[in-house]
Copies of this chain bind each other. A is one copy, B any other.
Amino acid sequence: MMLRTMADSARFIDGYLLYLLARASSVASAEFHEEVRRRGFNVSNWRVLAALKGSGGQTVGELAAVCLVNQPAMSKTVERLVRQGLVERRADVGDRRRVNVNLTGEGERTVDELISAAKAHQERLIEAIGPRETETLVAALHRVIERSGEG
Contact = CB atoms under 8 A, between A and B. Distances in A.
Contacts of A147: 125, 128-130
Contacts of A29: 18, 21-22
A38 to B, nearest CB: 16
Interface residues of A, number: 65
B138 A20 contact: yes
Nearest to A20: B141
A9 B10 CA distance: 44
A145 B1 CA distance: 23
A128 B148 contact: yes
Interface in A1-28: 1-6, 9-13, 16-28
Contacts of A27: 144-145, 148-150
